[in-house]
Amino acid sequence: MSNKIKMIVGLGNPGGEYEQTRHNAGFWFLDELAWQWKVSFKEEKKFFGEVARANLPGGDVWLLKPMTFMNRSGQSVAALAQFYKIKPEEILVVHDELDIPCGRIKFKLGGGNGGHNGLKDIQARLGTPNYYRLRLGIDHPGDRNLVVAYVLNKPSAEHRQQIDEAIAKSLKAIPKIMAGEWEEVTRFLHSK
């Protein structure tokens, strides 16, 4: 598994009313990464999102925030991937995850979508589940009927701090992710 990551996607919803909601944890991560890498996002209509290009020693890496709304994220991901001939296994998708406690992180290649509409659409558009996922835990409200309202609302101050800490920890793993050191990435991110 020596795939180089050439594209990092942060999932979220566009618009001020969604900016601080749990579902936008992927956007929060990407904003921090762009700041660290000193790159800026600009709107790219042909990719249905905001895009930044990071010129790294190992080659260009594209950062993408789909502006399609969550359930059509794949439209944006597939457009950029096809244009730059980026394979699914060269893509890292960063997203909020209900099935992980708040502040915890999971990293994996492939697998199911856990009912996450953004992942469902990406898998459908790419034709495979075999892309990397960085899953930022946001907790579950306990009742599946409450999920939509839960992900589209602001986390408590305590939960926001836990998510921000998970993002900070995930950013520390980025050099290892970019180097393809998957076992070390997993060990580091899955530890408390």
Binding annotation for tRNA: 18, 69, 71, 117
Q: Identify whether the C-beta of residue 93 lies closer than 8 Å to the C-beta of residue 133.
A: yes
d(CA 92, CA 111): 13
d(CA 29, CA 93): 11
Tell me if residue 95 is catalytic.
no
Give, in order, the Cα–Cα distances in Å from 53 to each of 8, 40, 85, 92: 10, 8, 15, 15
Q: Identify whether the C-beta of residue 136 lies closer than 8 Å to the C-beta of residue 25.
A: yes
d(CA 139, CA 100): 6
Alpha carbons within 13 angstroms on the beta-carbon side of residue 67 total: 13
Element (H, E) at 73: helix 73-83
Catalytic residue among 23, 95, 116, 190: 23
* Active-site annotation, residues: 23
